Structure 1
Amino acid sequence: MSYKKLLLPSALVAALTIAACGGDNEPQSVVPPLPAGRWIAGDLHTHTTQSADADVSQTLDKILSKAFTSYGLDWMAVSNHLRVSTRDEKGATLAASIPLSLGVERYEIPRVKALQAAGTYADKLIFSGFEWDMPTHDHIGIGLFDGAAASTKGMKEFEYLFTTRDPAMFDAADVAAWKAKYGETRYNKTAADALQAINWLKQNYPDSSYAVINHPSRNKGSYTIADFRAFNDAAPNIMFAIEGMVGNQMEPDRGGYTAAYTDDNAPLRVYGGVDYVVAKLGGPWDALLGEGRRIWNLTDSDTHFKIVGGNSSGYFPGEYAKNYVFNSATGAPALKDLLAGLRSGKMFSVYGDLINALDFNLASKDDRKEMGGELKVVAGDKVTITIRFKSPARNNYEKPVDSGTPANVKPVVDHVDLIAGDVGAKATPGSAAYSVASNASTRVVKRFTAADWKLDADGYYSVTYETTASKNQYFRLRGTNLGVDVAGLTSGGEPLADQRTGATDNTQRFNDINDRNYRSLWFYSNPVFVSLR
C-alpha cells in the first residue's frame, strides 16, 4: 500500500466531499454527509455501597451526583458486584444479607425512579447492570433489559443459575420455576459454565443485553485470547467490547494491576493506564481486529471510593475516564439508542478529558464510513482518512487532589497515531490460530502533530491523509499529551508500563498518584474497516 499525506484547508475538511470526475459522460460521485447527532459521555462500570468492597459512604445518591452534577455525564450504568448485598442504597446495614438482584429491585431501581420522577436527572440515562465473577476467569460487566429498563426478573434468574448463591435466599416460587426449567443444574464452576452464561444471554436477551470483559489482564491467567474469541463467536451481538482503558486509576499500582514488574508479567501491566490487551501495538486487540471481529475498546471508572483514610482506589464516574458514544437521537438518551451506539463501535474513550469530540472517518469517491463501520472499495481506489478532534478548555485536574481547587490545566494533544493492521480470515476454534494473540501487520502509519493539523472555525483540529486501497485492513487512532520519548512514560511513541507510586506519607502518595495520572493522558478510537469488493 502506498501512502501520501494530504493537508486540506480546514474549511474544506469540515465539509469534505470527494468527487471522482472521469470523462464527459461519467457522472460525479459524491460522498454522503456525516449524520447529525451528538456525543454522549458515560460509564458502564460503577459501584455503590451495595457492593461490599465499596466504601459505606459510596451511596447511590452520591455517585449519581458526582456523575451527573459534578462531571457532566449523560448516561451511567450502576453495576454492583453480583454477590450478596449487606447494605441498602444509603449504606444502612440490612437485617440479613440478600442477593444483589433483590437489592437492585428493592433499593437501587426505586431510588433512581423516585429521583427522576421528581425531576432530578430526568434528562439522564441511568440503568442497572452488574459485575459477575465469571467462573475460572475474572469480572465481566453485564446488562440485560426488558424494554427501557433493566430486567430484575432476568437478573434473579442469572444470579441463581450462574453463582453459588444459596437457593434459600430467593423466592421459593421462583426457585421452583427455575428447577422446573433447568432441573438441578447450575452453572457456576467451570469455563464451560462461563460460556454457558454467554449462550444464556443470547437465548434470552439476544438484542437487549451486553457482556463486557472488565480489566482483562489484572490477574494472571484470567483470560486467554481463545476465551475472547469463544465468547465473541458465541454471541457477537452481546460480547462486543473489552474494558481496555481500565478504572481504579487512583491505585498506587495504576489500575490496581499489582503483578511484579518482570518480563514474564509484561501483559499484566497497564501502559499509560491502558491494559496490555489494547495498549500493545500489534497485541491481542489487534489480533482480534485482524480477523475482522467487531470487538470495541471501552473505558470506565470502576469507582468504589476515591480516597478513604490511608487508601485510594478510583476516580468518580466522569471525573477522569469517559466513553463517548454517538447518539443520533435528540433529547434525553434512550437505552435502545445507547445499546445501538455501543454495538455500532462509533465511540471513543479518553482519560483526563484529553479530547471531548472526535470525527474519524474514511471516504472513497462515493462512500464514507466512521468508527465501527466498513468501507467497501475496489483495489486501487483512493481512500481519504479524516481526523478531527476537540479538547475542552480545562479538565478535572485538582491540585492538591480532592481539594476542590482546579489546577486550570487545558489538556493538549501532543500527537495522534494513525494505526493500521491487515484483516484476514477468522480463526477456527481448535486451530493454532485461535490462540494467536498478535498481529504482526499492525503498525503506526503516520504520526500527526500540531505541525500537521489545522484549527477550524468550529474549534476542531483537522488533518486528512490519503492512501490507496490494496488489501483488507482496519485503521484506528491513539493520541496522547505525552511526547514520543518521555523518560519512564514513552519510548519511540509507545507507552511504557506504569510504575508503582508508593510514597509512605498518605497525602504525598495521593497527590503523586493524581499528578502521575494527569501527566499521562491518552485516547483510543475504535477502528474503521476497509474491505475490497
Structure 2
Amino acid sequence: MKKLLIPFAIAIMLGVVACGGDNQPASAVPPLPAGRWIAGDLHTHTTQSADADVSQTLDKILGKAFISYGLDWMAISNHLRVSTRDEKGATLAAQIPMSIGAERYELPHVQALQAAGTYADKLIFSGFEWDMPTHDHIGIGLFEGADKLGSSTKGMKEFEYLFTTRDVAMFDAADVAAWKAKYGATRYNTTAADALQAINWLKQNYPTTSYAVINHPSRNKNSYTAADFRAMNDAAPDIVFAIEGMVGNQMEPDRGGYTAAYTDDNAALRVYGGVDYVVAKVGGVWDALLGEGRHIWNLTDSDTHFKIVGGNSSGYFPGEYAKNYVFNAATGTPAAKDLLAGLRSGKMFSVYGDLINALDFNLAGRDDRKEMGGELKVASGDKVTITIRFKSPAKNNYEKPVDSGTSANVKPVVDHVDLIAGDVGARAAPGTAAYSAATNASTKVVKRFTSADWKVDADGYYSVTYETTATKNQYFRLRGTNLGTDIAGLTQGGEPLADQRTGTSDNTQRFNDINDRNYRSLWFYSNPVFVTLR
C-alpha cells in the first residue's frame, strides 16, 4: 500500500485518529501493521484418498491451486485411512496407512518440485483429515523443526497408530515396538474420551506446532454439540481454534454435501448461502462461543475430491471458489510458522467466489487499535471508531458453461455488509447448563451498510466508518454478500435462507445449474474484534 498524506479531517473519518471522551485530548492510535494477505486452503484431497477420483493427482491439484487460481499456500489433507494409490493415481501392490503414503509419495514429490524451482515461492505441506471417534472429521497439521518447520511424518504415523483402527501389521515393526513401549498396548479410536485424548496428545507433543480444525460441523446429525466445541477448545485452545464454517463440496447437488432430509426439524443440518448453520445463524453456536470470549475462528476450504466426473459433481478446485485470506507480516515466501501464527491470531477472513480479496476491519479507541482476532481495551463511555475497508477483484472464476474454460467475465459486487455484535460474558464451566448453550441472545446486526454508505478511498478500497460508545464487553464481526436483503429463496430480511437441493435430471444442465446457484449466492465472513472494558 503506498503512503499517503491524509488531511486531519479525513484521518478522523478513516479511524486513523480517534477522539477521546469529554475533556480528553485527541491522541494518535497505532498505524496498521505492514504485511500482506496470503490466500490458501487447509482442506484438499488427492488421488491418495480413496474417495477422491483417480484423476485427482497431486500434480493436478498443485497446478490448479497455484497456477490456475493463484493461492499462496495449501495443505494436502488426505483422509487418515488406508491408501491404495500413489500420488500419480497408480494402484499400489498393497494398501498402506495414509501417513506412510504421505511420507513415501506426497512429501517427496512436493520437495522435488520445489527443489527444482516449481512452486518454490509457495507454502505446501501435508496434513490429514481424521475420522474423529463419535464425531465427524477434523483437519490436523503437525510440524516439527526449529526455525524452518516441516510436516511431521513421524507424528502423523504415531497419530494414525494411536487414534485409528489401522491394522498394526501395516506399520514398521520397530515403530510399533517403540510406540508400545511409550504408551502400552492401549489405542484410542472408539469413544468421545478417545477423541479428547487425541487433542491432548497434540498438546503434549506439538503444543505450538499443530492445529486441529473442525470440518463441516453440521453435515451429519449429532456430530458435535456446543459442549463438544467448548471441551475441545478448553483442552487445547492454541490447537483447536477454528471451525470450517464456510464448507467445501459446493458443487454437490446438496450444497456442501449436506444431505439430511429437507424438513423443518433439520434446519440446523443445512447450509445457508453455503455456510454451515453453526456460523451462518446470527446468535447461534459460533456466537455462543464468541460470547464467552473464546478465540475460535471461522474459515473456509474447498474439500476438493473432484469437480465433475461422469454424472457426478463434488467440489471446486483449491482457490477456485473458496479462499482463506490470512495476514502475513513476514516478507518473502510464506513459512509454516508464519501461517500458523496468522491462523492462530484470527486476523483472517474467508470468502466465496472472490466477492472480496482484501479486508481492513479494525476498531480504534483513544490510544489503541485492534484488528480481527484482537482485543481493544477501553474505558466505559469511550468512543470506538469501527473502520471497514474492502476491495473486490475485476472478475472472479465464474465460468459459463461450467468447467469450460470460458470466463463469464463477471465482476463480483458487494450489495451490503452487516456489522454484527454480541455481548461477552463469563466463560461457562464444564458440567453447567451454560456449557451446553448453543445460542447468544444478545447477538444482532447492529448496522447494515450499502453502497450508499461507503466511498472509494485513495487506495481503491470501499471504505465506511461507524462510531459507537463502549458500555460493555462485546465483539464485532462482519458478514457481506452480493445478494439483496429479500431475494426469493435466498435471503429474507437480510438473513440467508437454507440452500435447497439442485436436482436437475440432465447431468450437464445440473452441473451448470449448481455452478450458477453458487455464483449467484456469494458471501464473506470476517473474524471478530473484541472490546473489553478496563
> Shorter-chain TM-score category?
over 0.9
2:287 corresponds in structure 1 to 286
- Note if contact 2:82-2:95 (Cα within 8 Å) is conserved in structure 1: yes
1:173 corresponds in structure 2 to 174
TM-score when scaled to structure 1? 0.97
CA distance, structure 2, for counterparts of residue 10 and residue 522 of structure 1: 30
1:313 corresponds in structure 2 to 314
CA distance, structure 2, for counterparts of residue 261 and residue 512 of structure 1: 19
- What CA deviation, in whole Å up to 9, does each residue of 1:17-70 have, x standing for no partner? 2244976xx765210000000000000000000000000000000000000000
1:201 corresponds in structure 2 to 202
2:90 corresponds in structure 1 to 92
Q: Residue 168 of structure 1: CA displacement?
A: 0.4
Q: From 132, 141, 148, give the equivalent of 1:134.
A: 132
1:125 corresponds in structure 2 to 123
Aligned pair in 2 of structure 1 residues 196, 21: CA closer, same or farther (>3 Å)? Answer: closer
Matched, 1:241 2:239: no
1:109 corresponds in structure 2 to 107
CA distance, structure 2, for counterparts of residue 467 and residue 231 of structure 1: 34
- Note if contact 2:143-2:206 (Cα within 8 Å) is conserved in structure 1: yes
CA distance, structure 1, for counterparts of residue 343 and residue 255 of structure 2: 26
Instruction: Look up the equivalent residue of 2:85 and give its one-letter code.
Output: R
- What CA deviation, in whole Å up to 9, does each residue of 1:477-516 have, x standing for no partner? 0000000000000000000000000000000000000000
CA distance, structure 2, for counterparts of residue 506 and residue 216 of structure 1: 29
After the TM superposition, which residues 299-448 of structure 1 pair with which residues of structure 2 at under 5 Å, given as runs?
Answer: 299-448=300-449
Partner of 1:101, secondary structure, is helix
Q: Residue 9 of structure 1: CA displacement?
A: 7.7
Matched, 1:57 2:58: no
2:5 corresponds in structure 1 to none
1:30 corresponds in structure 2 to 28
Instruction: Look up the equivalent residue of 1:53 and give its one-letter code.
Output: D
Partner of 1:340, secondary structure, is helix
Instruction: Look up the equivalent residue of 2:29 and give its one-letter code.
Output: V
Partner of 1:67, secondary structure, is helix
- What CA deviation, in whole Å up to 9, does each residue of 1:84-119 have, x standing for no partner? 010000000000000001000000000000000110
CA distance, structure 1, for counterparts of residue 286 and residue 489 of structure 2: 24
TM-score when scaled to structure 2? 0.97
2:3 corresponds in structure 1 to none
Q: From 46, 49, 52, give the equivalent of 1:48.
A: 46
CA distance, structure 2, for counterparts of residue 14 and residue 128 of structure 1: 41
- What CA deviation, in whole Å up to 9, does each residue of 1:210-265 have, x standing for no partner? 00000000000111110000000000000000000000000000000011111211
Partner of 1:42, secondary structure, is strand
1:16 corresponds in structure 2 to 16
Partner of 2:299, secondary structure, is strand
CA distance, structure 1, for counterparts of residue 311 and residue 128 of structure 2: 28
- Note if contact 1:10-1:455 (Cα within 8 Å) is conserved in structure 2: no
CA distance, structure 1, for counterparts of residue 492 and residue 48 of structure 2: 42
CA distance, structure 1, for counterparts of residue 90 and residue 354 of structure 2: 35
1:4 corresponds in structure 2 to none
- Note if contact 1:52-1:85 (Cα within 8 Å) is conserved in structure 2: yes
2:191 corresponds in structure 1 to 190
- Note if contact 2:365-2:383 (Cα within 8 Å) is conserved in structure 1: yes
Instruction: Look up the equivalent residue of 2:513 and give its one-letter code.
Output: D
2:4 corresponds in structure 1 to none
CA distance, structure 1, for counterparts of residue 424 and residue 468 of structure 2: 16
Partner of 1:35, secondary structure, is coil
CA distance, structure 2, for counterparts of residue 457 and residue 401 of structure 1: 36
Instruction: Look up the equivalent residue of 2:176 and give its one-letter code.
Output: V
CA distance, structure 1, for counterparts of residue 244 and residue 193 of structure 2: 22
Instruction: Look up the equivalent residue of 1:116 and give its one-letter code.
Output: Q
Q: Residue 183 of structure 1: CA displacement?
A: 0.8
Aligned pair in 2 of structure 1 residues 452, 28: CA closer, same or farther (>3 Å)? Answer: closer
- What CA deviation, in whole Å up to 9, does each residue of 1:105-151 have, x standing for no partner? 00000000000011000000000000000000000000011021110
Q: Residue 363 of structure 1: CA displacement?
A: 0.2
Instruction: Look up the equivalent residue of 1:121 and give its one-letter code.
Output: Y
- Note if contact 2:17-2:26 (Cα within 8 Å) is conserved in structure 1: no
Aligned pair in 2 of structure 1 residues 116, 81: CA closer, same or farther (>3 Å)? Answer: same
- Note if contact 1:13-1:462 (Cα within 8 Å) is conserved in structure 2: no
2:75 corresponds in structure 1 to 77
Q: Which runs of 5+ in 1 are unaligned?
A: 1-7
CA distance, structure 1, for counterparts of residue 104 and residue 280 of structure 2: 40
- Note if contact 1:218-1:257 (Cα within 8 Å) is conserved in structure 2: yes
Q: Residue 464 of structure 1: CA displacement?
A: 0.2
Partner of 1:388, secondary structure, is strand
CA distance, structure 2, for counterparts of residue 21 and residue 45 of structure 1: 46
- Note if contact 2:359-2:391 (Cα within 8 Å) is conserved in structure 1: yes
Q: Residue 458 of structure 1: CA displacement?
A: 1.4
1:158 corresponds in structure 2 to 159
Aligned pair in 2 of structure 1 residues 21, 429: CA closer, same or farther (>3 Å)? Answer: closer
Paired residues, number: 524
Partner of 2:17, secondary structure, is coil
CA distance, structure 2, for counterparts of residue 286 and residue 447 of structure 1: 18
CA distance, structure 1, for counterparts of residue 385 and residue 409 of structure 2: 37
CA distance, structure 1, for counterparts of residue 17 and residue 356 of structure 2: 25
Instruction: Look up the equivalent residue of 2:388 and give its one-letter code.
Output: I
CA distance, structure 1, for counterparts of residue 241 and residue 176 of structure 2: 31
1:3 corresponds in structure 2 to none
- Note if contact 1:10-1:462 (Cα within 8 Å) is conserved in structure 2: no
Partner of 1:255, secondary structure, is helix
Partner of 1:108, secondary structure, is helix
CA distance, structure 1, for counterparts of residue 287 and residue 30 of structure 2: 29
Matched, 1:225 2:223: no
Which deviates more from structure 2 when the two are superposed, residues 8-17 or residues 393-402?
8-17
Instruction: Look up the equivalent residue of 1:258 and give its one-letter code.
Output: T
CA distance, structure 1, for counterparts of residue 398 and residue 458 of structure 2: 27
Aligned pair in 2 of structure 1 residues 344, 275: CA closer, same or farther (>3 Å)? Answer: same
CA distance, structure 1, for counterparts of residue 278 and residue 229 of structure 2: 11
- Note if contact 2:129-2:140 (Cα within 8 Å) is conserved in structure 1: yes
CA distance, structure 2, for counterparts of residue 374 and residue 391 of structure 1: 27
